[in-house]
Amino acid sequence: MAQFRPGRDVMVVGVGLHAFGRFPEQNLSDLARDAVVDALRDSGVPWSAIPVAYFGHVYYQGMSIGETTLAQLGLTGVPIINVENACSSGSTAFWQAYWGITSGVFDLALAFGAEKVPSGPVTVTAENSPARYIGGDHMMAGYALRMKRYMEETGAPASALAQVSVKARHAASMNPYAHRKETYSVEDVLNSRLIADPLTLYQCCPTSEGGAAAVLCAADALDTYGVDRSRAIRVAAAALTSGNYNGRGSDHSAFSPYRTEPAALQAYEMAGIGPEDVDIAQVHDAATIGELQQIEALHLTPFGEAWRATEEGRTALGGDIPVNTDGGLLAMGHPFGASGIRMVHETVTQLRGEAGPRQVENARVGVAQCSGAGDVTTVHILTR
Amino acid sequence: MFVSVDEKCLRLTDDSGERGVLLGMRCRQCGVHVFGPATFCQSCTSSDLESVELAQQGTLFSYTIVRVPPPGWPGQVPYVLGEVELPEGPHVLAEVIDCDHDALRVGMSVTLALQPVEMEGVANSERVVYKWRPG
Ligand SMILES: [Zn+2]
């Protein structure tokens, strides 16, 4: 069991995004740099004041890509750490930034992430690994196995799962940063091309390109750096876990549905709140089934009932527990290194009351949950 | 001469390329089984492990019909991917062959089946792969 010794309170004081989508003219550093500049401007903190930076990314784009990216802002000698933790790389960078400040080592930290994910099915293992012959190394097939089992166990109809994607597109239609903004119906989702039964194309997140960044600051140092207190959002919990299967081994772990729960329980304990206090949640919806299972693992609904909450509109904008209020992975797309920080961006934007037409009224507590291969889970809780 | 796709997970028991056993490890401290090699028990972290042969038959925990295969998939498309629960506990992901898609059911019994597979475009790459078959 993890031991927490958080020290100083930590605030998110700036967030930035590069739009998600396809940008053939821009390289990874361009996407990352634009998000960082956006976040620094939002915070009011000058680049020269940043004492440490963590960069989340997965695909290899040359050595020390974080350093070459930030060199464009000026060579300040800042320590820069490149972070790879699968789809949770960005949120792991954020987690490190939090602990770097709360521990007392730094007053400020920059967490940023970017990715240019190639098109086509995503695999986890190296080329020529036995998994390639065996056929199990297929991210969306893994989600399809979870989906089939979930539908079997809970009686969820295919339409309830499709509704997750319809909801995502509706939110994204109000988000200029989203990769996919066109709305569609449950029928459209169900009639789209089958990828791996029962999962259809419109229930899988697009692989995308994009960047995201956040500037964090110790609560007791806000005035030192001239930060606007009224827009600072507190990080109430930062939890990161790897696999924990109570002895069932790792042979099916990439597909185990409820691996989020240990990180969620740690985060609630650290924040001193419970799931009933959560106003909004951003969760890892790489496929529709993912959103339902993350909602349940976060205890936002009882196990086996997130599909019903979705059908009833409770997880949509206007519902009592809005989930993936910016469109989530399903509509934002999924640039691995950026996604976890994108969730923080949306949470901060909502808690500040700056989400425009997507604004959730009186949102005070937001959860951001991100999963990755290797059974990585991060859960961050932000409060106003 | 047949070669196992992964000698730490599948041992061929004769020269036919058709018979073999899935290998796993059992923890002598807590009794938990895992599929494939292990140095430490993933449940209790003990290193007191023994290698064991796993059952030839399991139940279909879940399945999917893969229409868009992963890069490098050497078989036919679509193919059925099954997550099979063994009586010892571990789940084993592999293709389900010789099955009628409409007859697949969660909970149905499946039996280990071995097939030689050649990677597309790779010379002398044939390996015997473990699969499942209804029954
Ligand atoms: Zn053990």
Residue A381's beta-bridge partner residues?
A: A237, A367
Q: Does position A120 have pLDDT exceeding 80, yes or no?
A: no
Residue B69 lies in a domain: yes
The separation between CA A54 and the C-alpha centre of its own chain, rounded to angstroms, equals 16
A50 pLDDT tier (thresholds 50, 70, 90): very high
**Chain A residues in contact with B34 (beta carbon < 8 A):** 249-251
Average pLDDT over residues B106-135: 90
d(CA A226, CA B70): 51
Closest-CA residue of A relative to B104 is A148
* Mutant choice from A119, A134, A147 vs B, greatest count of B C-beta within 10 A: A134
What integer best gives the mean pLDDT of chain A?
93
Q: Two tokens at A299?
A: 């205890």
CB A83 within 8 A of CB A140: no
Give percent of chain B with pLDDT exceeding 90: 75
Number of Cβ atoms within 10 Å of the Cβ of A305: 15
For position A264, what pLDDT does the model report? 95
Spell out which residues of chain A touch residue B75, defining contact as CB-CB under 8 Å: 135
| A134 → closest Cβ in B42, B67, B93 | B93
Flag whether pLDDT at A205 surpasses 80. yes
Residue at A306: amino acid letter: A
Q: Are A255 and A286 in contact (CB under 8 A)?
A: no
Residue A252's pLDDT is: 45
Kindly give the pairing relationship between strand B109-117 and strand B127-134: antiparallel
pLDDT band at residue A171 under the 50/70/90 scheme: very high
CB contact under 8 A, B130 and A134: yes
**Interchain CB distance below 8 Å, A148 and B63:** yes
B58 is a domain residue: yes
The total number of structural domains in chain B stands at 1
pLDDT, mean of residues A293-318: 96
B2 is a domain residue: no
Instruction: Render pLDDT for A332-342 as a digit per residue (tens, 0 to 9).
Output: 999 999 999 99
Q: Is residue B25 part of a domain?
A: yes
What residue numbers bound the domain in which B90 lies? 10-134
pLDDT at A249: 45
Test mutation, A153, A204, A251, A289, chain B, max B CBs within 10 A: A251
Does A142 have pLDDT greater than 80? yes
Residue percentage of chain A with pLDDT more than 70 = 95
Looking at residue A256, its pLDDT comes to: 59
pLDDT value at A253 more than 60: no
Backbone angles phi, psi at A144, to 5 degrees: -65, -40
Q: Which residue of B has its CA nearest to A153?
A: B106
- Model confidence at B33: pLDDT above 70: yes
Instruction: Specify the higher pLDDT residue, A125 or A276.
Output: A276
User: Could you read off the pLDDT of B58-88 as tens digits, one per residue?
Assistant: 999 999 999 999 888 889 999 999 999 999 9
What whole-number distance in Å separates Cα of residue A89 and Cα of residue B133?
A: 38
B43 alpha carbon – ligand 1 mean position (Å):
5
Judge whether A280 and A325 are in contact, CB under 8 Å: yes
Residue B18 located in a structural domain: yes
Please answer whether residues A297 and A261 qualify as being in contact, where contact means their C-beta atoms are separated by less than 8 angstroms: yes
pLDDT at position B119, please? 72
Q: What is the structure's pLDDT at A138?
A: 85
- How close is the Cα of B39 to the center of ligand 1, in Å? 11
Does some domain include residue B5?
no
Catalytic annotation present for A87: yes
Cβ atoms within 10 Å, residue A182:
10
Q: Is B9 helix (H, G, I), strand (E, B) or coil?
A: coil
**Domains with residue ranges and CATH for chain A:** 10-119+206-383 (3.40.47.10)
With CB atoms and an 8 Å threshold, state whether B81 touches A193: no
Place of tokens 């956006």: A38
CB A135 within 8 A of CB B79: yes
Does the structure show a pLDDT above 70 at A63?
A: yes
Contact A173, A158 (CB under 8 A): no
- Chain pair A-B, CB pairs under 8 angstroms: 137
Question: Can you tell me the ipTM of this complex?
Answer: 0.94
**Cα–Cα dist A81/A78, whole Å:** 10
Residue B57 lies in a domain: yes
